[in-house]
Chain A
Amino acid sequence: MNAAQDTILRLEGLKMHFPVTSGIFFQRVQGWIKAVDGVSLTIRRGETLGLVGESGCGKTTLGRCVLRLYKPTEGRVEYDGQDITDLGNRDLRPFRRRMQVIFQDPYASLNPRMTAGRIIGEPLAIHKTVADREEQRRRVLELAEIVSFHPSMLDRFPHEFSSGQRQRIGIARALALNPEFIVADEPVSALDVSIQAQIINLLMELQQQMGLTYLFIAHDLSVVRHISNRVAVMYLGHVVELADSDVIYSDPAHPYTQALLSAVPVPDPAVEATREPIILPGETPSPLNPPSGCVFHPRCPMAEDRCSRETPEFREVRPNHWAACLLTPGYDQAPPVKP
Chain B
Amino acid sequence: MRTVLKTAVRSVFRQKRRSLLLAGAIAFGMLMITLMNGFTEGMLTNVRDNLSHALGGHVFVSGQEITETGRVVSRIDFDDRLQTLLETNSAEIASITRRSQTFGTVVFGSRQSAQMLYGVDFQAEERLRTSVAVTAGSLEAVMEDDQAIALPDSLAQRLGVELGETVLIRLDTVTGQRNVGEFWVRAFIEDQAELGMSAAFGHRAYVNTLLNLPSDSYQSLNLFLHDLFAADKMADQFRDVLPLRPVGEDGDDQAAAFGFGPFGQQQAPEPWDGIRFTIATINDIMEPIEAVVLVLDRLSLGVFAVLLVIIVVGITNTFRMIVLERTKEIGTMRALGMQRPTVRRIFLAEAAFLGLFGGVVGLGLALGAMTVVSRLTVAEPGLQFFLAQGRFTFQLVPQVVLLHFAILTFVCLASAYWPARSAADLPPIKALGGHL
**A associates with B:** no
Enumerate chain A interface residues (CB-CB to B < 8 A): none
